[in-house]
Amino acid sequence: MILHAPRKRPEPWRQRRTAASGAGMLALLACEYPFDWMAYLLSRWSFLEVLEYLGSFSILIAVIFYFSESGDRLKQKHYQAWQVINTAQGKGGSGGRIEALQELDEDGVPLVGVDVSGAFLQGLRLPHADITRSNLNAVDARNGDFRASDFMGANLHSGNFRNSNFSAAKFQDADLGEADFCFANFSAANLAGATLDGADLGSTDLSNIRWQDIKSIKGASLQDVRNAPAGFVEWATQHGAVTSGHSDCQ
């Protein structure tokens, strides 16, 4: 910060040199004396004060532009995330899709119709996400977090979702057939209209699930399911589900 109060006029050299106690000190004072005059003269120059005001003003303008363009930067961030997802479509591995999907979800961007079939997405965290009509066929999303996410009309066929959290998730009209849900948490999930043919629900937590309108559950394994609602296991076995011998859960 430049001080704008005019500096005191330097004392005459004849008076200044009397403060020197030796030749060394006199040399130092001689070097310092011209700078004292320079500082004195500059402190009285209004142009420097104007330059400082202009500098402060330019910082203010830069801050205003930074915040005014924040929306464009967010759009660019989302565009790059979608580019990562779409470029890797149909390929195995992660390809940066875990980070891209999570960034979009954290920013509240719907993931409607996203295609990550066959991708390696272990540990994917998409709580409260809108994944309606998405394609997660044969995806490996073990240990995922999908709490309260909406999978309406989604394709989870043959996916690996072991140890994943689907509590309060919505699966209306979704295809969960042949998928591995060993040790998953389905508490309070809505399975109305869902297809679970051949799904492995071994050791899953089924507390408070909405099951009465499940579309099909033929061949699904219910071995060692936990907290199943009253009447569910009986209904499921009557419609082709099995309770032993068909689960790969260990």
Q: Give the domain range for residue 242.
A: 111-250
pLDDT (tens digit per residue) in 98-133: 999 999 999 999 999 999 999 999 999 999 999 999
Residue 1, pLDDT score:
47
Instruction: Give how many domains the chain has, as a whole number.
Output: 2
Phi, psi of 110 (to 5 degrees): -65, 140
Say if residue 154's pLDDT is above 90: yes
Residue 122: give its domain's CATH number: 2.160.20.80
106 occurs within a structural domain: no
Say if residue 158's pLDDT is above 80: yes
Say if residue 39's pLDDT is above 90: no
Tell me the CA end-to-end span of the chain in Å, nearest whole number: 69
pLDDT (tens digit per residue) in 211-248: 999 999 999 999 999 999 999 999 999 999 999 876 67
Phi, psi of 240 (to 5 degrees): 105, -5
- Work out the pLDDT band at 3, boundaries 50, 70, 90: very low
pLDDT (tens digit per residue) in 10-35: 666 555 656 556 655 656 655 666 65
**Residues 21, 132 within the same domain:** no
